[in-house]
Chain A
Amino acid sequence: AQSVTQLGSHVSVSEGALVLLRCNYSSSVPPYLFWYVQYPNQGLQLLLKYTSAATLVKGINGFEAEFKKSETSFHLTKPSAHMSDAAEYFCAVSDSTSGTYKYIFGTGTRLKVLA
């Protein structure tokens, strides 16, 4: 079975500071990993994905994430936070072998950016 754990349901950073949102996964098969962002009352937008190519993945809006198999982690980072980054972020894992592409989502991390 697969699972995702997002550490910290709420994270606050100052504008211009480093953003680090943590995601650890559990999977018995090679995973696909994703980060999504959600603004209030909207759907989820894909930030970036890992599908077994490069372990450092760059996404939209200056975000990136590094797949670390030894640590079973896929943490999301951004060097300098912007006010517009305030949103909820979801990490997700998918089984790369079953063909059903059902995603398991974490419980989300709400990012607050302080002026």
Chain B
Amino acid sequence: DGGITQSPKYLFRKEGQNVTLSCEQNLNHDAMYWYRQDPGQGLRLIYYSQIVNDFQKGDIAEGYSVSREKKESFPLTVTSAQKNPTAFYLCASLNPPRGYTFGSGTRLTVV
């Protein structure tokens, strides 16, 4: 079955460390998105990509970076510049005008 795979499910980061969250899709969707979810705040857009080798900043891009070298893959790096990275991160892809297809998320915790 087609879908989106996020890994790992749980990730722990030490202070000053960069970590990369994986997002892979086999839906043949062009557009992919990264959202951050915090309790009581809903989902906020970090980065999105509408085509390979192109991506745009969302509303809260500071401290994050992405790449889109392949249609199937859209990894997110949480850099040491992100001062409050503890959150639930969700990757999604889109075949417009249908709704997003979401992955199952990665929970990142700073230790």
| Given A90-B42, A90-B43, A107-B42, A100-B102 contact (CB < 8 Å) | no
Nearest CB of chain B from residue A94's CB, rounded to whole Å: 8
Verify A102–B45 contact, CB threshold 8 A: yes
Residue of B nearest to A46 (CB): B99
Residue B2 at the chain A interface, CB threshold 8 Å = no
For residue B43, give the distance in angstroms from its CB to the closest CB of chain A: 4
Interface size on B, residues (CB 8 A): 31
Partner of A43, one of B42, B45, B103: B103
Q: Is A44 an interface residue (CB 8 A)?
A: yes
Neighbouring A residues of B16 by C-beta, 8 Å: none
- Give the contacting residue for A44; candidates B45, B50, B96, B102; CB below 8 A: B102
Interface residues of A: mostly helix, strand, loop or mixed? loop
Question: Which of A9, A44, A49: most chain B CB closer than 10 A?
Answer: A44
Interchain CA distance A45-B88 in the complex, whole Å: 16
Least CB separation from B43: chain A residue? A105
Please report the total number of A residues contacting B with Cβ < 8 Å.
Answer: 22
Q: Does B58 contact A (CB under 8 A)?
A: yes
A72 CB-CB contact with B under 8 Å? no
Q: Give B99's nearest chain A residue, CB to CB.
A: A46
* A9 CA to B41 CA, complexed, in Å: 10
Residue B98 contacts which of A9, A49, A106 (CB distance < 8 angstroms)?
A49
B28 to chain A, nearest CB (A): 16
Q: Jot down 22 A-B pairs with beta carbons below 8 A, ordered by A.
A: A32-B97, A41-B105, A41-B107, A43-B6, A43-B102, A43-B104, A44-B43, A44-B100, A44-B102, A46-B99, A46-B100, A51-B97, A96-B97, A100-B48, A100-B56, A102-B48, A103-B33, A103-B43, A105-B42, A107-B40, A107-B42, A108-B42
Chain B residues at the A interface, C-beta cutoff of 8 Å: 4, 6, 9, 31, 33, 35, 40-45, 48, 50, 56, 58, 88, 90, 92, 94, 96-105, 107
Known: A101-B94, A103-B45. 12 other contacts (CB 8 A): A32-B97, A41-B9, A41-B107, A43-B6, A43-B90, A43-B102, A43-B105, A49-B99, A101-B96, A102-B48, A103-B33, A103-B43
